[in-house]
Structure 1
Amino acid sequence: MGGFILAKRENGADSKNDSALLNDALAVFSKKGLALNKKLVTRDFVIYVYHKYKFKIENVVNFDNDQFIISTGTLIYKEKSGGDALRNLFHDFSENGEFFKNTYGQYCLIIFKQGKLYLFNDALGVYPLYLNKPANIISSSFLATLKTLKKKTIAHQELYEYLINETFYGYKTMVAEIDQIDSRHILQLSPEPALIPRKPQNTRLNRNSSFDEMVKEVSNNLIEYFKIVKTAFDNEICAALSSGLDTRLMLALMRKVGIKPELYVHGKKDSSDVRVSEAITKGEGLELKVENPDDYPRNDERDFRKLVEMNYYWLDGLGEEYGAFLTGFDMDTYFKRLERARLHIQGSGGEAFRNRLMLPDKSYDILSVIRAHYDKYSSSLFTDIFNKKEYLSALVNKSKFLFDNKCKNIDRQSIEMIYNFFHLKHHIANIAKINNQFSYSLYPFTEMSITSQSLDIPIRYKDYGVFEAALINYIDPALAQYYSIQYGYKYSEYKNIPFTKKLRYLARIHSPIILRPIIRRNYWKRDQFGRDKFPYYLESRYLKQVFPNDDLTISRYINIDKITKYTMMSRALSAELVMNDML
């Protein structure tokens, strides 16, 4: 379940013209350390399916008459994973989509049944799939798809989206010749191409329900989901803990259904995440692994190019927030977790239960919503190629697939759709894709049956993190008793938010949208990751190992000397690698 490449054949034979490019794409998986499981051939396509890095799990099942089913990512079907899930799903599969009601996870499925070849991913598209513009390659890997191109054109909009927001939005990428597959359909690839509409599997709430009724209904829905996870993976699960709401909600749910996860916290010893996590685990008699980056030795500059190349392939070229320019700490600690668990379960997406866009409960025009969240940097950071008005307008147009394209003003519930189905989906997709190469990796709060419920929760319930705190208190009152440094209250006391916290929150919520970019930039000037605190491996003596020449292509798009965030610098350098396909 580590990944795949699906290549189109010409007249029942493999394309000789593109064989060298296909070989380059296959080599990407080899450099990721993923072993080929099976090569399957139909009249129109050849499919290469790879194991995960850590586990050789049954991800291809063959049936009579050359029929088969393939899964990559993390799939749960009828409370089963692996081969059992695939056999059951193949039997139940039909174009009417009834099987989706028993399907969970972030995955891709490829099914050859009764002479037809189908391909689709999870409903939200958190497990991304890539299609090259000749339309002869589909893959789970952006980097492998990149290797199949004879021509590469930089898409300016998507490049700036990646530099500014860590990801691409909509169904495009920073390479114009690579698109992302639309998760709203089942793709029929042969004998003739067709798009089969996907029936939504939404679970909605009664918006007139009381606060307590909603807390109970959402909690029960979450508990039922985690029971399914428990049946599929038992206790072979690891999970993060932090000072925030999302990881504690996950721990509450796991304890409720009897999962005993391997817990870890990522951070320096004096960080709020470590302090709160240690208090919780000590108080509840749980074991905790502290992953402290200060304990990791400095990399030798002579080995840095090799490290970047390894990151480049493991992180599929662009990585996520930190790009491909990292120490070996993150990957080393990740692999150590896999020695203790098959499933890595993540709390990303829990913010759907909060007012994450930090806007008052009223209608807005779409441009104002986009500007409030995505207008982050002064245009002076970029070269003349960047046009902020056009950049924001493109984001507005990309988000309109959620609404009537003629719609200008949207209500507060629709604004939440922008966050859940537009922003959140793409941000989690980067890390979901990466993690699923190595092990099972699950993001419960992005399940359509869960995230769709969050749309019906009134904003007044979400403010201050109250609704999510109430979920924790309802599911596991003992966990709710621990003070949160991040939120400034015990989650058990969500009805009595401190006045100073309320005041600070309300000031932020009601700050004028036109002033938010200025406020945000001034806040970032005080950020601990300022220019004078770039990590050592972004010093010139390290970067010279990767870029011997100072003439960087990325300088045509952004003024490198004006970058003050080290995460953006890492992304800019990662984009440079992709632009020139250097490694």
Structure 2
Amino acid sequence: MPCRSRGGGRITGHFALLACKGGRLFILNDYFGAFHVYATPGHEVVATSFLAAAESLPRVSFDRQGLYEFVFNATPLGESTVLAEITKLSPFEQLELGEAVTVHAVRKGLDARFDPLAADVKQQADRLRSLFTGPLKTFGDNIQCPLSGGFDSRLVLALLLDAGVKPHVYVYGSDGDEDVSVATAIGKAEGFDVEVFNKAAYAKVDPDRFAEIVEHNFHEMDGVPIDGGLFDNGGNSVARHNRAKEGALAVSGAAGEIFRNYFYLRDRPFHSRDILYAFYSGFDPEDCTDAFDEAAYFNAMDAKLRRALGNASGTLTRAEVESAYPLFRCPPFFGREISMVGRFGAYFMPFFEYQMVRETIHLPVAARNHGAFQSQLLATIHPRLAGYMSAYGHSFLEAASLKHRLSEAVSLYRPPWLRRYGWRMKQAIKGRPALQPTGFMAPEYLGRVIDLTFPAMRRYFRMDRLADATLYRRIATLEHLAGKLGSRLAV
């Protein structure tokens, strides 16, 4: 059983698995390691809960690299977490439990090359239909399906309608939002209801009750949710439970970028460092204390990226660049979502299935640009649904609009070395106005759940200089975690 990657094409879903074979007990997870399994030093504790692993340790400390990756990228990358003593099980490992824990290496890899035949729309459409067969046979119409103004949710809905399923369709947002306008217009034209759920308007919360909601979110979302989503009115929790009500299958369009040019890079070879500069540079080192070393930060991320791709040199073919999306970006980001939503019920993320990634990795860049191939998929599977207007300013039966092309060209034609400084340049243009937290991040709310002097995080960030609300929310999430860990946290 150990040391092999077989089964990736025969198993649907993302999971953690205890398997007993020949009197030997193994722990493994899905092909991409998307369902997160956490381990303490020496694998003394192995759990699917980050908080459970943390609670088992008498002493913990922040992992500096994981901490900065969480704040700058919404989640730690690779096998890191925000705590140095807790790591995630690598997709290249299986654990064998005995008197001691044995770590077995697992051989995996994608055949990262472009092939014009991969752009055969009918063949790819049939693969998607086949992938949906098992879940649809099990759940029938008891499926929760999102719908927004973009490609991915529309493609999921197209596949369900094509199979004769009548899912419950929903959209998040408020009246006037583009996603809501597109989704409700499609529902009206097609004759099905679209649930509009406005999380922000779910409930009014007094400051006195805010701590109770954050405490609930902290445990329900395992301490450190993606993007620091602890601080809300309870609407996110209700939405998650709604998607699983009555045993429904929640289907997600996430990872649909396997069909597109995710990193917006031109059709030529790149170095692994170029991907990091182009996509993972949304920060200003001046917002950090002396604890941050920018060169060391990028070196550590580069090592993680090259390990994920199985490329020691860092010199990447253009096809290997595309493989960085499913192998490096998706497992930590969507994996955390998969692991959390899986607590509530069945969850299906079809575009992050091995069977689809294995085939779509061969799509040439020209087919990826501006969603050209994905539009053809939609038109093949459900032409009427493809014909409705999208948030891009055109239907998916038409060529990409000039507005759509220009919006992507801004990134596509900027070299990675320049994109590295894009976020900093935008902040400079804004003049770095003093941050004035509003809503649940305002002092009257946030001060109920953390120390607003940020005693833990001010070791890493210059809180008086910070001007970005998103980074502030993520830092506040880590400050909240530090408060929960209390005296067990080494400083």
Please confirm whether the aligned pair reaches a TM-score higher than 0.5, indicating the same fold.
Answer: yes
- AA aligned to 1:334 is R
Compare 201-210 and 264-273 and name the one that shifted more: 201-210
Which SS does the other structure have where 2:227 is aligned? coil
* 1:292-311 aligned within 5 A: 292-311=198-217
Asked whether the 8 Å contact 2:9–2:355 carries over to 1, the reply is no
Q: Please, what TM-score do these two structures have when normalized by structure 1?
A: 0.78
Asked whether the 8 Å contact 1:347–1:444 carries over to 2, the reply is yes
Asked whether the 8 Å contact 2:143–2:249 carries over to 1, the reply is yes
Which SS does the other structure have where 1:560 is aligned? coil
Equivalent of residue 119 in structure 1, options 6, 17, 27: 27
- AA aligned to 1:311 is N
- Alignment partner of 1:106 is 2:14: yes
Deviations 1:23-50 (A, max 9, x none): xxxxxxxxxxxxxxxxxxxxxxxxxxxx
Equivalent of residue 207 in structure 1, options 115, 119, 129: 115
The percent of aligned pairs where both chains have the same amino acid is 25
1:526 and 1:387 map into 2 onto residues whose CA distance is 25
1:408 and 1:200 map into 2 onto residues whose CA distance is 18
Residue aligning to 2:324: 418
- Alignment partner of 1:508 is 2:416: no
| Structure 2 CA distance for partners of 1:287 and 1:524, relative to 1, 3 Å | farther
Q: Which has the higher contact order (CA 8 A, sep 6+)?
A: 2
| Structure 2 CA distance for partners of 1:548 and 1:500, relative to 1, 3 Å | closer
Shift in Å, 1:249: 0.6
- Alignment partner of 1:560 is 2:463: yes
Residue aligning to 1:578: 481
Deviations 1:59-103 (A, max 9, x none): xxxxxxxxxxxxxxxxxxxxxxxxxxxxxxxxxx89867555431
Asked whether the 8 Å contact 1:204–1:453 carries over to 2, the reply is no
| Structure 2 CA distance for partners of 1:563 and 1:470, relative to 1, 3 Å | farther
Residue aligning to 1:259: 165
2:123 and 2:114 map into 1 onto residues whose CA distance is 10
- AA aligned to 2:467 is T
- AA aligned to 1:540 is P
Shift in Å, 1:246: 0.6
Deviations 1:469-502 (A, max 9, x none): 11111111011001112x2211011xx3333433
2:381 and 2:451 map into 1 onto residues whose CA distance is 56
Structure 1 unaligned runs (5+)? 1-92
| Structure 2 CA distance for partners of 1:561 and 1:259, relative to 1, 3 Å | farther
Residue aligning to 2:439: 536
Deviations 1:174-207 (A, max 9, x none): 2111111112343222366444555659799971
1:532 and 1:423 map into 2 onto residues whose CA distance is 29
- AA aligned to 1:507 is V
* 1:319-334 aligned within 5 A: 319-334=225-240
| Structure 2 CA distance for partners of 1:526 and 1:431, relative to 1, 3 Å | farther
Compare 101-110 and 277-286 and name the one that shifted more: 101-110
- AA aligned to 1:144 is A
Which SS does the other structure have where 2:480 is aligned? helix
Asked whether the 8 Å contact 1:535–1:566 carries over to 2, the reply is no
- Alignment partner of 1:149 is 2:54: no
Deviations 1:220-260 (A, max 9, x none): 11110011211122222102111010100100111122222
Which SS does the other structure have where 2:195 is aligned? strand
* Higher alpha-carbon Rg: 1
Structure 2 unaligned runs (5+)? 487-491
Shift in Å, 1:384: 1.3
Q: Please, what TM-score do these two structures have when normalized by structure 2?
A: 0.92
* 1:322-401 aligned within 5 A: 322-401=228-307
1:383 and 1:342 map into 2 onto residues whose CA distance is 47
Asked whether the 8 Å contact 1:235–1:260 carries over to 2, the reply is yes
Shift in Å, 1:408: 3.3
Equivalent of residue 186 in structure 2, options 280, 305, 313: 280
Looking at secondary structure, tell me which structure has more strand per residue.
1
- Alignment partner of 1:491 is 2:406: no
Which SS does the other structure have where 1:559 is aligned? coil
| Structure 2 CA distance for partners of 1:562 and 1:442, relative to 1, 3 Å | farther
- AA aligned to 2:348 is L
Residue aligning to 1:24: none
| Structure 2 CA distance for partners of 1:531 and 1:349, relative to 1, 3 Å | farther
Equivalent of residue 169 in structure 1, options 61, 77, 82: 77
Which SS does the other structure have where 1:216 is aligned? helix
Which SS does the other structure have where 2:342 is aligned? helix
Residue aligning to 2:340: 434
Which SS does the other structure have where 1:104 is aligned? coil
Which SS does the other structure have where 2:475 is aligned? helix
| Structure 2 CA distance for partners of 1:427 and 1:94, relative to 1, 3 Å | closer
- AA aligned to 2:417 is I
Query: How many residues are matched?
Result: 484
Asked whether the 8 Å contact 1:203–1:449 carries over to 2, the reply is no
Which SS does the other structure have where 1:567 is aligned? helix
